[in-house]
Amino acid sequence: MNRTMIAIRHLAFEDLGAFEAVFLERGLEVRYFDVGLDDLSRLDPEQDEVAVILGGPIGAYDDRTYPFLHQEVAYIEKRMVRGLPTIGICLGAQLMARSFGARVYPACKKEIGFFPVDLTPEGDSSCLAYIRGAPVLHWHGDTFDLPTGAVRLASTPICENQAFSYGRNAIGFQFHPEMGAMGFERWLIGHALELAVAGIDVNKLRSEHESVRFDLERRAHECLRVWLSNVGEAATLTSHPVAQPTLDHRRLK
């Protein structure tokens, strides 16, 4: 297994955000796989120490419109069978839930904005303790049932399953724990139509981000550090920092 991590990205601006620095700190080479540009069939589920399935504006159930979703689900399933560290964020968490056989479907309303999640007792003793009480970013219209064998970690009134763990090596976040200090303006531009249709005040959303962005970045770092430190024996992650790591954003060829 290579000392690499891979982030499957559906939109260029929905990247690893604040999580990226922690992977570099762990001495992992960061590789982005861009859906729609790179060949999903060439992804080896066993090649990378960690995989992160990132967010996007499509439904995890939209196979007829986006056939590549079948390949993504198969990739996640193979990593789960092997117990390899895997993180799902928003669409990524929904695809993880689907790969476990759970239902993904539209929620009663969209959740867009900054507000906290309610942690379960299991969530409070997990890496999510570092986001306790913080107004984290929500940007989704779908939700999912808790997969069989998974443990609920967080909820909101609209979405009961805001985060879940599956064993020690898999975690899914319906919200965006990776959102930190940088890059939020790209979201406001890229999702301008959705915000307008939903009646969201862009200036208010920007102001909310400005007030919490550095705190969220710090919390994101601690959350991911704890999770990486607690992954099971299937991972070979080291905990020593690497001085001045060089980021390589090569796409798979």
The better pLDDT of the pair 239, 117 is held by 117
> To 5 degrees, how large is the angle CA 41–CA 251–CA 54?
75
* Cα distance between residue 48 and residue 6, in whole Å: 6
Percent of the chain predicted with pLDDT > 90: 86
Q: Can you give the pLDDT at residue 40?
A: 87
Q: Residues 129-183: pLDDT tens digits?
A: 999 999 999 999 999 999 999 999 999 999 999 999 999 999 999 999 999 889 9
Q: Can you give the pLDDT at residue 138?
A: 97
Q: Residues 198-233: pLDDT tens digits?
A: 999 999 999 999 999 999 999 999 999 999 999 964
Q: Residues 96-105: pLDDT tens digits?
A: 999 999 999 9
pLDDT-derived band of residue 93, with 50, 70 and 90 as boundaries? very high
Known catalytic residue at 127:
no
Residue 248: pLDDT over 90: no
Q: Can you give the pLDDT at residue 97?
A: 96
CB atoms within 10 A of CB 140: 22
Catalytic site residue from 10, 138, 140, 176: 176
Tell me yes or no: is domain 2-230 CATH 3.40.50.300.
no
Catalytic site residue from 10, 20, 29, 90: 90
Judge whether 203 and 239 are in contact, CB under 8 Å: no
Residue 75: pLDDT over 60: yes
Known catalytic residue at 185:
no
pLDDT-derived band of residue 246, with 50, 70 and 90 as boundaries? very low
Residue 31: pLDDT over 50: yes
The amino acid present at 102, given as its one-letter code, is A
Q: Can you give the pLDDT at residue 174?
A: 97
* Cα distance between residue 226 and residue 122, in whole Å: 14
Mean pLDDT of the 92-99 span: 96
Average per-residue pLDDT for the chain: 90
Q: Can you give the pLDDT at residue 242?
A: 31
Distances (CA, A) of 218 to 19, 181, 190: 10, 9, 25
Known catalytic residue at 176:
yes
pTM across the whole model: 0.90
Residue 37: pLDDT over 60: yes
Q: Can you give the pLDDT at residue 1?
A: 60
Catalytic site residue from 29, 72, 111, 178: 178
Q: Any idea where the domains of the chain sit in the sequence?
A: 2-230
Percent of the chain predicted with pLDDT > 70: 91
Judge whether 18 and 184 are in contact, CB under 8 Å: no
Mean pLDDT of the 242-246 span: 30
